[in-house]
């Protein structure tokens, strides 16, 4: 398949990026994805700057290959987190929420590559102007925080590709080789995937209950909880209904998020009573596999599928 | 590109099907799509059986090529409509809502090919068992009636392809050659498109205001009105807000639909005060073009894009 600009830009073999899932994408999972030729990402969400440094150390002890850290620019200590990343010598930062404009110069001076996550075309244009190196365009089928516009990957990617010159990464809905090939067909130069790595052997931050839920889930298993106030895509279960009830009672986005967070990740111990954040592709997951196999099947499968289409 | 089974099955050159848009897809538009090598579809929604026959006559006066009729099986006179289609010698019926089981035998005996529209995997399995010839799997980004599950094209298509042996047609979100190629990459053997033909020169059932709205709309311009009660994707404007208000006041799905219908199609005379039903791909529409050009660009563009990916 046609070479992606992302590979040379990020120093990776395959343009497959681990989504930085808060409380889940740690140094081990990031290292596993990077070792397999993709780009691992540590999610900074649940760490202080000091804790993040320790997690980066852990990742670097497991791989010599590059990995990234994602940072929400809404955090008051976003600058500290970015400083920690640069101090540790990482070369890629994935920013989300707010504008990276304020940090672009410092990141560039530090030799970093910056990718920013967007969910609509107007943000993509603004972000490209802010000088980032690549854009991650995330469709509404993705797990976690849902954009208000709820634009799907299928319609979002080509429209973002049309307005920017930098590489676009497709996120949301990519479950296997077909999804990777389709993303490339839409004009993306790579993919960011979370859910399928959530269901990997190397994802040790969640328990067996979570993985079992992912395997059992069908195509219609997820929904957006707290739509209008906060909006998080997760498995529809009894806890989902509780969140919806709290939203209907007028709880704020912050309150709802706190409520959901209390049952996320390792805290999701019971299939009915946990916030099992994941994308719609969970319906495609049938078993828990090593990261290496997941990436190999995407890359090899896409090559075969491309040949077959021809 | 790899030959699609749909072409021989439907007697067409390109596996591109006109979505049967109620009150919009008439005999003229259907004939235009068929003349250009796709499969036109007359939407039976706004016709009695007798009126449908007249519309089929009109279509047949404009083309010798095959076209289809879509029929909602929820209509009490669905049997009459199907009889009208067979009487007029058409060979393809697209059914939606309910189960085609009751009608499959009569349609097959009449020599017809049956395709049924689904929005989730479990319905796809049921429908395939009912003996239809192909499945149209429609993602939530499509215009018009939205499924409760809101599964996107990107995740729906591969999951449907995995559970049926018959050809799958992708609907929802396909705006150009890239979308067509991506649908094929996901395993679909063809596409059903509505919005981009809505914005065609040959679509004469809507006025200039409607077409202007489609051109002006961006990626985030549509939403699902009446979610939970009925759910229709259309342009977010003042009328959309009125529908949402009526839904919040507890109006039933039927009442909401009637309200929306009063401002649909030719009745949508004012950009603020009309139900401009369309899919998320409206953001990709920049001009009103002939059907022939739209289809040619999809087919030729997909071949080039495929070569370029290789």
- Shared domain for A135 and A238, answered yes or no, is no
Both tokens of B86, joined, read 């067979």
pLDDT of residue B265: 87
Q: Do B2 and A309 touch (CB under 8 A)?
A: yes
Say if residue B56 is in the same domain as residue B140.
Answer: yes
- Closest Cα in chain A to B181: A185
> In the numeric block, which tokens belong to residue A67?
């990995």
Instruction: Give the minimum alpha-carbon distance from A27 to chain B in angstroms, rounded to a whole number.
Output: 29
The reply to whether A165 and A225 lie within a common domain is: no
B177-185 and B291-309 helices, crossing angle to 10°: 60
Interhelix angle for B253-261 vs B238-248, to 10°? 160
Domain for residue A10, yes or no? yes
Domain of residue A268: give its range.
218-277
Quick check: pTM over 0.95?
A: yes
State whether residue A48 is helix, strand or coil.
coil
Please state the domain count of chain A. 2
Tally A–B CB contacts below 8 A.
148
Contact residues on chain B for A150, CB-CB shorter than 8 A:
223
Let me know if residue B213 belongs to a domain.
no
Question: What pLDDT is stored for residue A119 in this prediction?
Answer: 98
Q: Would you state the pLDDT for residue B100?
A: 80
Helices marked H in chain A: 5-10, 27-35, 49-62, 78-87, 101-109, 121-129, 153-161, 177-185, 195-198, 208-216, 238-248, 253-261, 291-309
Same domain, B122 and B265: no
Contact criterion met (CB below 8 Å) for B23 and B43: yes
| Tens digits of pLDDT across chain B (310 residues) | 999 999 999 999 999 999 999 999 999 999 999 999 999 999 999 999 999 999 999 999 999 999 999 999 999 999 999 999 999 999 999 999 888 888 888 888 889 999 999 999 999 999 999 999 999 999 999 999 999 999 999 999 999 999 999 999 999 999 999 999 999 999 999 999 999 999 999 999 999 999 999 999 999 999 999 999 999 999 999 999 999 999 999 999 999 999 999 999 888 889 999 999 999 999 999 999 999 999 999 999 999 999 999 9
Q: Do residues A112 and A137 both lie within one domain?
A: yes
**Distance, CA of A20 to CA of A193 (rounded, Å):** 9
Mean pLDDT of chain A: 96
- Residue A170's nearest CA partner among A140, A131, A203 is A140
Is A153 in contact with B149 (Cβ distance < 8 A)?
A: no
Using the beta-carbon criterion (under 8 Å), do A173 and B155 form an inter-chain contact?
yes
Interface contact flag, A306 B308, Cβ < 8 Å: no
Please report whether residue B212 resides in a domain: no
Q: Are residues B185 and B235 in the same domain?
A: no
Q: How far is A281 from chain B (nearest CA, A)?
A: 6
The CATH number of the domain holding residue B112 is 3.20.20.70
Cα–Cα distance between A203 and A183 in angstroms, integer? 25
- Whether B120 is covered by a domain: the verdict is yes
Q: Would you state the pLDDT for residue B46? A: 92
**A199 part of a folded domain:** yes
Residue B233 CB coordination number (10 Å): 24
What are the structure tokens assigned to A250, written together? 């007028």
One domain, residues A25 and A117: yes
DSSP assignments along A220-248, one per residue: T-EEEETTTTS-EEEE-SHHHHHHHHHHH
Is residue A60 helix, strand or coil? helix
pLDDT tens, A133-146? Answer: 999 999 999 999 99
pLDDT at res. A217: 98
Mutate to test the interface with A, among B118, B139, B154, B160 (most CBs of A within 10 A): B154
**pLDDT interval class at A186 (50, 70, 90):** very high
In a domain, B3, yes or no: no
Quick check: is B209 in a domain?
Answer: no
Q: What angle do CA A61, A66, A68 make, to 5 degrees?
A: 100
CA distance B243 to B226: 6
Token pair in block for residue B215: 């051109």
From the list B141, B306, B309, the residue facing A154 with the nearest CB is: B141
Give me the mean pLDDT over the A97-114 stretch: 86
| Contact list, A178 vs chain B (CB under 8 Å) | 158, 185-187
What φ, ψ does residue B170 adopt, rounded to 5°? Answer: -90, 135
For residue A232, give both structure tokens: 């998080």
Are B154 and A176 a contacting pair at CB < 8 A?
A: no
Q: Using the beta-carbon criterion (under 8 Å), do A152 and B159 form an inter-chain contact?
A: no
A192 lies in the same domain as A228: no
**Residues A135 and A163 grouped into a single domain:** yes
Distance in angstroms (rounded) separating the CA atoms of residues A244 and B209 = 38
Both B199 and B70 in one domain: the answer is yes
Residues A257 and A292 in one domain: no
A152, A175, A216, A225, best to mutate vs chain B, most B CBs in 10 Å: A152
Q: How does residue A60 score in pLDDT terms, banded at 50, 70 and 90?
A: very high
In terms of domains, do B48 and B136 share one? yes
Task: Please check whether residue A171 is in contact with residue A192, taking contact to mean a CB–CB distance below 8 angstroms.
Answer: yes
Q: Is the pLDDT of residue A110 over 90?
A: no
Instruction: Please indicate, yes or no, if residue B42 is contained in any of the structural domains.
Output: yes
């Amino acid at each position: 398949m046609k070479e992606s600009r992302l590979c040379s830009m990020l120093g990776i073999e395959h343009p497959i990026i681990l989504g930085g899932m808060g409380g889940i994408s740690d140094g081990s999972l990031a290292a596993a994805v990077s070792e397999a030729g993709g780009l691992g990402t540590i999610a900074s969400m649940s760490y202080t700057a000091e804790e993040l440094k320790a997690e980066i150390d852990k990742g670097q002890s497991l791989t010599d290959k590059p990995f990234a850290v994602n940072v929400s620019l809404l955090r008051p200590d976003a600058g500290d987190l970015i400083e920690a990343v640069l101090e540790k010598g990482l070369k890629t930062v994935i920013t989300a929420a707010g504008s990276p404009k304020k940090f672009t110069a410092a990141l560039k001076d530090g030799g970093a590559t910056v990718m920013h996550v967007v969910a609509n075309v107007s943000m993509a244009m603004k972000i490209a102007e802010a000088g980032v190196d690549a854009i991650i365009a995330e469709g509404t089928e993705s797990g976690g925080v849902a954009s208000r516009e709820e634009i799907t990957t299928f319609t979002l990617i080509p429209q973002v590709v049309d307005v920017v010159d930098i590489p676009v990464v497709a996120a949301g809905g990519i479950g296997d080789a077909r999804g990777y090939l389709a993303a490339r067909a839409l004009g993306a130069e790579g993919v960011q995937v979370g859910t399928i790595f959530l269901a990997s052997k190397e994802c040790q931050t969640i328990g067996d209950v979570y993985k079992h839920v992912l395997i059992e889930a069908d195509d219609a298993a997820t929904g957006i909880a707290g739509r209008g106030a906060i909006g998080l895509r997760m498995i529809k279960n009894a806890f989902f209904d509780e969140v919806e009830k709290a939203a209907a009672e007028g709880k704020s986005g912050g309150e709802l998020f706190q409520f959901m967070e209390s049952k996320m990740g390792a805290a999701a111990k019971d299939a009915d009573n946990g916030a099992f954040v994941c994308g719609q592709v969970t319906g495609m997951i049938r078993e828990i596999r090593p990261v290496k196999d997941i990436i190999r099947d995407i890359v090899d499968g896409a090559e075969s599928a491309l040949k077959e289409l021809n």
